[in-house]
Every structure is written in C-alpha cells, then in structure tokens.
Structure 1
C-alpha cells in the first residue's frame, strides 16, 4: 500500500513538474516562425555626436534604413523587441495581462491581415526601406543573442514592420476609448471620442493608465518674428520610455533623403522634424472618426441582420500568451467581424465599429514621402492623399510659409442620424465608404497674424483672434472638437500679446508654466474656495494656500507643489470627459501626501517634482517645473517611496527650427534623458537631463561637415547579400 502511495505521489510530482515546464516553454515552440527579408546587401555609416545622437549615412535610402535599425538597437533593443512582439501577437508573453490586451487588439483589428493584404500595394521603394530596416534588426539580434528576451522572435521582415503601423496608428485618435468600454460592457465615453491629454497614443494603454497623449506646436512667419526668420517649434508630449517614446536621429543618403527629427521604435523613418527646405510637427487631435453599430443577432448568435437579410458573423479563435511570473498561460479568445468592421460581444449585445483609415497602411508611403518633400505644394499633396489617419500637422519652410492642417480621416456621413450615439447595425445606408474631402478639413496657410499653434485644442483657435476660423465653417457631423486645454489658452493669450515673436519670446512662451483661471481650473479653484473646512486645520491651511496661489507652476510660489497635485486628476477628468472629482477629496489627498512625505504643505516644487532615472553610474535626480496642463508639461508621474513625483510623461522631444534669409536651416533639440534609451551603463543614458531641467537645448548637427567636427567613434555596418 505504501509503495502504491509513494508511486502515486511521484507520479503527481512528475506530472506537476511536466505541466510547469510546459507552461514555461510552450509559447516560443508554438509561435509562428518569422521570415527573413529577401537577400540584399546594405552598407551604412553611423556617426554619433557628442550627445550620442546617431547620424546615419548611406548610398541609398535602404542603406540608411538598415543603419537606423542598427543604431536604434544599440540604444534600445529591449523596446524594439516589445514592438516586434506586438506585431506577432506575443506581447503578453513579455508583459503579462497588459501585453495580452495589445495582442487582443492586434487580432480584433486584424492588423496582421491588413499588413499582409496591403503590403504589395506599397511602393517598391517603401517596401525596400522596410525590408532593410528589418534586416538591420535581424543582424543586431544575431550578433547579440544574450539580449533576446523572447525566443523565436527573429527573424522579422517588412510585413512585421508594416503590421506595427496598422496596429498602433488607430490608437492615436482614441480608438482605445471605444474598444475598452465595449469589451468591459460599460458606458461609452461622451461622444465615444478620444481622451485628450498626445500614444503618436499610441499603443493600447495598460489598464488604469490615463490616456495622456498631448503636444504643443508653434510656427512663426517672418512678418511676425521681428528678424525675418521663419521658426517652427516641435514640442511633443509622449511617455519618456516605452514603445512610443521618441528617439532622435539624423538621416542622410546619396539619393536625397536628408532629415533630422525623431521616430518611434519600429519605424525606419522620422515622423517629425525638418529637412533643408521644410519641417513639421504634430499634435494629437480628436475628430469623430469612429462609429458604433449595435447588431441584431439570430438565436444562436451566428448571424446578424442586414437590410432584412441574415449574414454570417465572421469569427476566428486566437490564443493569447499571458505571462504570470515564470509561467506563460494560454488564453483562448474569439474575435468577430461584420461588414461594418470588428465586432465585440458583451453583456449588452454585439457591437461593431468602423473607423477612418481602417484596413490601410498607406501611411507608410506617405511618411516616407513627407521626409523628402521640398515645397509646400509637394508636402500638402502628400497629406491630401488621406493616407495618415489623424494628428494635426503644423508646418514651416524656408520660403517663409507656415501652415496648419487638421489632418483626419473623417467619415463622409449623411446628415440626420445621431452619429455620436450607437447606430442601428441592420441598415447598410449607415455604413459609410468615403472620407470627407481633404480640402474641407479646417486648415490655415500664412494667416495674417503671422503665427500658428496647437495644444490639443479645437482648430478654431489656432492663429489668434484676427485670423481664427469659425466653428461654423464645417458641418457638425464631422465631429471636430471645440474644447480648449489650459495650454491652448495660455498659448493663445501669450502669442496674441507678443509682437514681435522673436527667438527669446518664443522660448519663453514654450516654457511657460502659467495657468488660466478658466475651464476646469476655475471650477476647481472656485469649489475649493467654497468648502467649509473649519473642522480640519490641515484642509483649512491647504485651502488658504490654494486661495493665494499665483496660478504659476514655476516653483517660486509656496502653493506650487500643492496646486500641481490638486490639478492632476481634474486635468485627466477634463480630457476624459468625466465629472471633476470632489474638491474636498482633491484637497485632502494632495495635502495629506505633502504632509506625510515632506512634513509641510508648502515644500518647494523643485523638491517634489523630479526628473529621475537610474540605477547605474549615470543615474539622475533633478528638479522639474511645470504642471500637468502647462506649456512646460509634466503631464504625469510615478510616486516614489519618498513621495517625490518622478515625471514619466510630458515634454519629451523638443526641437526649435529656424530658416533665416539666405542661410541654411539650423535647429536645436533636447530629450529628457539621453540617446542611449535603455543602456544605464552608457554615458548617453542621461547626459541631456541637466540641460532639459534647465530649459536648455543642444545643437542639431544637420550637415555632414558639422557632424564630422563632433564625430565620436564613427563606424560602418554592412550586410552582405
């Protein structure tokens, strides 16, 4: 009997160990193997300047793309692998539940299928760029096998790179704010539009994270600059690390591609910046690009009704890998689709959704072409293809032109139905197939005011009082936003009141830390002032401080730290179109935090708000100014064990560009940390942080003669056919 029990026990142990081993190893074994690009030879020279920014030169554009992959891998191979895992539906095997949500979105949107179907519609030179970039990633992986964190991820090819675009682009205009509530079966956000706040969001956001994608952009024409110089300021607000953190670079080929700017992990070309002749930057806009339809299903849920007929509901099963510690669990999910688009079933029924840009990867051709445009007419003609689904474009060039396009793939809807609500899913006449003509979108070209701006606000406040468009210039069914951010109110006020807007004035405006007593700011301050807090001395002191606040997060006032904490949640609620939190709750949480960690309600803002990165020999812990909705943006933060707020999102890649009469383009830039994004033992891990903290910029060495003066360890990388 004892022998039988012992044998049974051993059998249980063996079975258990086998199951554990299986859960630890199954995912790479069943993953679909990748394909290497067709054989091709590449040769790229990578020269890093004194700040480690890569300047990549090649004979052909494809050579340069190969070098972009090598350089970016040297600085941030870890994040590049995350992005590649997303394109394969394997991110959950790295990032657990949050990663599995991205994998589900990949399947739901059929991003991989879109890339496969549309890949050969891309121009041959664009495909050549993608294949070269993929080859560079493969070569780096092969040369550094110890850095690979997910087995069987490589090789990758151009379709993998294209899939990343198909997956991430829709989340820039807020598609996640439609998918999330539909999956959960909770009420949709007001007008089911995007939450404002700049992931270029971005990738599907992790659970519990506010959708804080925002940016500032400024263009000043020669007539307003006071010195005849055309100026462009790119001030994107992105996460400081991760799949949509900016990576700075300069590219140059003998075929005429020459551009300085920044890109995201997984892209072979910059998304914003400048060439010799022109430049642009982007801010997230919030057009109504998505429509939701409630389907009528038959009894067994296999068909849906359309114009009185029953059509089969498309369905397919996907297996999502979800990491829990050392184990990776297989979770089976079913994704659905109708002729409207993707379908989500929840406790309230089955809902299809349709969005502008669905099923297209034409933005790959467009971004590449924008990099090489030489004139405004060329640049505008590329945008007018309607290939890039969303984001505002603010433009300037050496000819002295400035422009702003409210770029958006807005469906061409007929008047009558409530397009902001949930539509009947059994009427084909509500399924649109065309987009609003591009030239009917709000836009400005050389306004009389001499300046343009956007801070994630309505396009009807962009050029000052004398030049702004009227909201009545577009029909309401286009769903163009009418809201203003605090940043927009400040920018409009400061730009209107400043003449000329020279280099010092423009920098002062960009780094402004002020708040306007308007919108949610006024509501919060009025509500705090109206509180009866005689029963709580701490709240009474905090109320007094807030009443004396100078409406500036410059770090000079005693209430600045308290105000930054108080205003964060209302900013998020305003962007998310949700009710503002109760004033007493805001005051209580903020004051309790400061008293707990700093022993006072009025610590200097510089002691509380920090630029932190480490560990390692180049760790930094520096002061930061600004607030969650100031032009000097510290949008959100992580709370440290010591109670200090380590900024993780806000001012990220900043670039000032100038075209002076008769002179070549010049520019300066800065990022919060450094070029070696995830390399803590590299001097360039944080070597820009001190400058960033002090509102300083570094030079961009755009021309090769300048690059050579500051060249550090130039190297040539090649791939043989």
Structure 2
C-alpha cells in the first residue's frame, strides 16, 4: 500500500511474506542503489563502475567477507532468520526477472544468501573503521588520528513521560547520513500477522528496520567511537617476504591471488590480478611502509541483521534489552523509549578484552600471540542508563558519560580505559544539553523546536579552534571590516536567510579544504593571519560570484534534486546539521546531515508519529515521489504516519501485490 508520499506499507500473513514485499517495493523505488550493495557483496562492483568500483571489490577480497559468510552463515544464523533472508532474495531475484532493463549486470543474478550476508559484513566492517584503517595503511599515516566529519553524525533524544505535559514519552530519531547512495535512508512500514508491525528507516539491501518504532517501543542509533579495531605491524623476515616473526618463530602469511574484473572506457571488462594476505592477527596488507594486519570484531560476529530483527519485534524493554544482549551490532549508541514509562541509553559496541600490558590505541607490533584477543566485554559492562532522575537521555556522537543532566551522568572511571570511549563534547551536545536543561516540563512543540534547532554554542568545539574569527579587530582591517562585523554580529544560527551563516559556511569549508582534505586540523588554534585570509577569501567570493551583496546561506547552499533547487539551512555540527559540497563555482549542494527524521509520542494506544525524508520515497526521476518531500524538509515540517492498518488502508493512494501493479 502506497500512501500520499509513496511510502510503502507492506502487509503479509508471515514475516517472510513481508520481507519479500519489502524487497519488491524497495526495488521499485531504488533498484539501482540496492544493486550497488549486492554487487559489493559479490565483489563485482568494478564490472559496472570501473576502477572506483574495483577498489570496493579489492576491499571485499582483503576482508574475505564472502569467505566469512560461507563459513559462518548456516551455523550462526537461526533457521527462522535464514527463512527471511531467502524471502528477501526471492523478492529481489523475481524483481530482476520482471524488470530486466533495470538490471545493471545480468551476471550478478540470481543473488544468493552468501551475497547479502557478505554485503552486511562489508558494511559493518566499514562502520567499525576498517576502510579508514586500510586507507591510512596505504598512505603511511596509520597512527595519525582520524578526523571525523562533524556533519556525519546523528542525534537521538528520549524524554520520560514524567517530564512531558501530556504524560507521554517522546523520542527523536535523527540520523545524519549521506542524502543519496548506499547508506541513505529508505522509509518503510512492515506489518505481518506474526506480530511484526514496525515503521522506520533502513539502507538499500536491508531486510529489517534499522531504527524506528513498533506498537510498543522505539529506538534511535547514532555512531559511537570506542576502540572497535586494532592495527598490528608485522615484523617480516629479512629475506622471505611472506614470513613474519611471532614469539621468536617465523609464521607464513596466507596468500591468495584474486582477480578484479574492471570495466574500462565503457567498452571492455579487463581482469586484473591482485594478491591479498592474512596473518593470525587478521587481513593483512604489504605496502612500502611495512606489513600491517587489522583485527575487528565485525569480521567475527556477523549476526547483526538478525539482532535488528529481534529489536524490531520487541514488545517491551525486557525483550528489547534481550535483543541488545545478543551483542551482534559492532557499534552504535542506542537511545530507547516505550509506552511503558521507560527510557534507556547504551553506548553499544563489540569491544575486545585486550591484554592490559599493551597500548592498543596506536599501531601495535604484531610479534606475540599475547597481544591477540578473542573475547569481548559483556553487555552489562558497557555504559548505559535507565530512567535517570533528570528524565531525559540523549546522544550526538559525543561521550557516553554525558548522556543526561550533569548530576546524573555516569562516571567514566568506572569503565575499563581499554574501551577508549570518548570523554569529550561536540557543538551539538553542548547546545542540546543547554536546551534540555532549560525545560522543566516538555511540550511536544518545545521538543520539536529543540530537535530542529540550528544554533551553534557561544564557544565552538570544532577540531580546529576557529573562535579567533570572532575576536578580530575590524578597525585593524578596514578592507574587510564589513565582513568581520557580519561574522561577529552573527547570532550563530544556520537559518537559510542568515548572512553570517553564509560567511561562516564559506570560511569553514575554505579552512577545511586548505588545511586537511579530510577535515579541519585537530587540536590547533586558528591564527590571526589565517582568520584574516579566510575572511578575505569569503568577501572576494561573495562579491564576485553573486549579483547582490551580502549573500544569505540559502542563496549559497541549496538542496538539489534533478531540476529542483531550494534554499538549504544547516552547517556542520549544528543540531539540524548539514554538510555541503561545491555544485559549481558559486553554489554548494547539500550532501550529508539531516536526512530521515522521525518524531514519536508514546502514550495510550498506538504511538503518534511524524516523519520526513529529505527528498522522497523514490529514487526514480520519473516518479512523483522523487522530490515531493523536499518542501517539507526545507521548512522543517513533518508528515503524519501510522502503524494502524485500517488507517493506512483508508488513506492509501495505491494498493497492489508484487508484479501486479
């Protein structure tokens, strides 16, 4: 059943029926992106997308995601869940048969259980930092810190019913993902006669809701940053390049030749031979900088999709926590609320129990089996809070020890330092803590206003300390005095009509791209000379690139979909975050940040829920739902949604069965 905005509401007798329908509906809307995910699981991306895709294929071979799936799938996943996997694949393969013109690579079909599990393993390994580690090994910068994109975060907020004027629990689900591509959100409602009734977001290739709500409970994920991955440098034999020293004896690397089939010049597919290696420490790379192995739990525990399924079907906190205790998700903060007076937060992660004799925060010499780990901290050892006295919980990718009011926060010293959880705030957490503390009792409108807030704190917490921008003496620099005053008089809000926000956006990206292509240089303060140079560049840009001066943020930064362009709010690390990249010489296009948003009220009966997705339900240009939510999104408005089948039936615009549309 498709609603006014084309969102699929999928009904079936069994859970497997619904999963089949999800595969079909999602393929109708975004088959091309789903195929990218499935091609990655097969190691066939290079056959369609050339050299760039071949890099993904190499990563698949390096991590051996297909081999892991083949060895573990039948043993680790329950027969119940394997039935769902088969149903999803049946839907996907049937859709491909019915729509051959939309198939990117006929040789990729039919897709198999190993293909999709391999894709899951690959995605979760990337989320655990494996891709960043490989890049840094290749670059020879492995011990330099990874600078996080402040727009690539998420927000999650839960308010206990004792803190709301209606006695309802409130939940904000607000992930900051790329607006398009393999990890962009898709909204769906899944409902079976076997007790599955869930609404929320998933990624292309997903066969359950990743975060959302059912009739009883809801949860939001944000990315967290404890130490999920280790890098070991091997001590190689001086003459035999395949032998490495461990405990005084040389061991042999496992070596495997793989063939990357790469599409070139849109004409031919060329097989390119590569080698991958593995040590006892994990997947291994031999580079000009040395030999390095990576080790992460996401390549050992692969049942995350089944855990999400049990989270989807939880009827209360006890069942939800039991699902979380499966410890299959390699990361993610999780903020929870339900209709039974419970709010909860856990900084979930699959964290290895490491030998305390060694410092795993940097690359470790892989010379002893005593440095290997094979067990993980139990769930009850992770930072978590249940119904704090403050009445609220939140996370914005910051420290798990700052998840509520200051007086109720967890003590970081009570947790093993080897976990290496963040202890710091970010701009969003500072701002959100202030806003939450100001409300004695929350109305729903106040809750929404807080979630959509676009104001930076007075003292900024970007990796590069940019606060000197606001302390420049305008009289000292008369040629840019007007621009300096525009920055200093700015109210720190990222409204689309803000002139100060336009200046700050230009300056932020100018400094980011000038100092470090991956982000602002960490732990350094902007000099006065750099601040003047950045403001000069901003003033010159706006004077020469636009007919009118000064320029607002929405004139400079746009939400763009096909031929439609709209002024776009947001900056990196405001609560309503947005990162943009150049579209042309003058305009920036929103790329990552606010995307799928869900606001929930848990009271009597079914939860009341409102959502918006950045563009629309379909990724097909010919669909009316390709861009029909853009207006809502840019105005920060939401559409009502329902878990009630009778309501959905009554309001449905279209009702059909797969292959009978």
Band of TM-score, shorter chain: over 0.9
Residue correspondences, number: 649
The answer on 1:63 being equivalent to 2:4 is no
Once residues 188 and 589 of structure 1 are traced to their aligned partners in structure 2, the CA distance between those partners, rounded to angstroms, is 33
Q: Secondary structure of 2:499's match?
A: coil
Deviation at 1:483, TM superposition (A): 2.4
2:468 paired residue among 526, 531, 536: 526
Once residues 271 and 472 of structure 2 are traced to their aligned partners in structure 1, the CA distance between those partners, rounded to angstroms, is 54
The answer on 1:446 being equivalent to 2:412 is no
The answer on 1:287 being equivalent to 2:230 is no
Q: Within 5 Å, which residues of 2 pair with 1:159-558?
A: 159-190=114-145, 195=148, 197=150, 213-298=152-237, 299-327=239-267, 328-520=269-461, 523-527=465-469, 529-530=471-472, 537=479, 539-558=480-499
Q: Secondary structure of 2:400's match?
A: coil
Deviation at 1:392, TM superposition (A): 0.5
Q: Within 5 Å, which residues of 2 pair with 1:12-51?
A: 47-51=1-5
The answer on 1:96 being equivalent to 2:36 is no
Q: Name the structure 2 match of 1:39.
A: none
Q: Which runs of 5+ in 1 are unaligned?
A: 1-46, 198-211
CA contact (8 A) 2:201 2:209 kept: yes
Deviation at 1:641, TM superposition (A): 3.0
- Structure-1-length-normalised TM-score: 0.86
1:609 paired residue among 536, 557, 561: 557
Q: Within 5 Å, which residues of 2 pair with 1:131-170?
A: 131-170=86-125
Q: Secondary structure of 2:402's match?
A: coil
CA contact (8 A) 1:609 1:623 kept: yes
Q: Secondary structure of 2:72's match?
A: helix
The range that moved more, 588-597 or 103-112, is 588-597
Deviation at 1:172, TM superposition (A): 1.6
CA contact (8 A) 1:177 1:195 kept: no
Once residues 533 and 137 of structure 1 are traced to their aligned partners in structure 2, the CA distance between those partners, rounded to angstroms, is 65
Q: Name the structure 1 match of 2:539.
A: 591
How has the CA–CA distance of structure 1 residues 569 and 496 changed in structure 2, closer, same or farther, with 3 Å as cutoff? farther
How has the CA–CA distance of structure 1 residues 579 and 159 changed in structure 2, closer, same or farther, with 3 Å as cutoff? farther
1:637 paired residue among 580, 604, 616: 580
Once residues 528 and 221 of structure 1 are traced to their aligned partners in structure 2, the CA distance between those partners, rounded to angstroms, is 38
CA contact (8 A) 2:128 2:296 kept: no
Q: Which runs of 5+ in 2 are unaligned?
A: none
Q: Name the structure 2 match of 1:37.
A: none
Deviation at 1:716, TM superposition (A): 1.3
The range that moved more, 391-400 or 480-489, is 480-489
The answer on 1:77 being equivalent to 2:27 is no
Deviation at 1:256, TM superposition (A): 1.1
Give CA-to-partner distance per residue, 1:466-513, whole Å, 9 cap, x none.
Answer: 211122221221110122221111111100111212211111111111
Q: Name the structure 1 match of 2:616.
A: 674
CA contact (8 A) 1:173 1:285 kept: no
Give CA-to-partner distance per residue, 1:150-183, whole Å, 9 cap, x none.
Answer: 2311111222111111000022232222111102
Once residues 277 and 576 of structure 1 are traced to their aligned partners in structure 2, the CA distance between those partners, rounded to angstroms, is 45
Give CA-to-partner distance per residue, 1:167-224, whole Å, 9 cap, x none.
Answer: 000222322221111022234332xx67353xxxxxxxxxxxxxx5310111000111
Q: Name the structure 1 match of 2:598.
A: 655
Deviation at 1:359, TM superposition (A): 2.4
Give CA-to-partner distance per residue, 1:589-637, whole Å, 9 cap, x none.
Answer: 433332232245521222222211114xxxx211221211111111x22
How has the CA–CA distance of structure 1 residues 216 and 570 changed in structure 2, closer, same or farther, with 3 Å as cutoff? farther
Give CA-to-partner distance per residue, 1:416-437, whole Å, 9 cap, x none.
Answer: 3221122121111111111122
Once residues 543 and 129 of structure 2 are traced to their aligned partners in structure 1, the CA distance between those partners, rounded to angstroms, is 37
Once residues 418 and 167 of structure 1 are traced to their aligned partners in structure 2, the CA distance between those partners, rounded to angstroms, is 27
Give CA-to-partner distance per residue, 1:9-59, whole Å, 9 cap, x none.
Answer: xxxxxxxxxxxxxxxxxxxxxxxxxxxxxxxxxxxxxx1011100000111
How has the CA–CA distance of structure 1 residues 623 and 532 changed in structure 2, closer, same or farther, with 3 Å as cutoff? closer
- Structure-2-length-normalised TM-score: 0.94
How has the CA–CA distance of structure 1 residues 551 and 213 changed in structure 2, closer, same or farther, with 3 Å as cutoff? closer
Once residues 128 and 148 of structure 2 are traced to their aligned partners in structure 1, the CA distance between those partners, rounded to angstroms, is 9
Q: Secondary structure of 1:658's match?
A: strand
Give CA-to-partner distance per residue, 1:395-444, whole Å, 9 cap, x none.
Answer: 00110100010001111123232211221211111111111221111111
The range that moved more, 174-183 or 281-290, is 174-183
CA contact (8 A) 1:561 1:602 kept: no
How has the CA–CA distance of structure 1 residues 300 and 588 changed in structure 2, closer, same or farther, with 3 Å as cutoff? farther
How has the CA–CA distance of structure 1 residues 194 and 474 changed in structure 2, closer, same or farther, with 3 Å as cutoff? farther
1:87 paired residue among 23, 38, 41: 41
1:126 paired residue among 59, 74, 81: 81
Q: Name the structure 2 match of 1:694.
A: 635
Once residues 498 and 201 of structure 2 are traced to their aligned partners in structure 1, the CA distance between those partners, rounded to angstroms, is 35
Q: Name the structure 2 match of 1:206.
A: none
How has the CA–CA distance of structure 1 residues 243 and 119 changed in structure 2, closer, same or farther, with 3 Å as cutoff? same
How has the CA–CA distance of structure 1 residues 304 and 543 changed in structure 2, closer, same or farther, with 3 Å as cutoff? same
Q: Secondary structure of 2:184's match?
A: coil
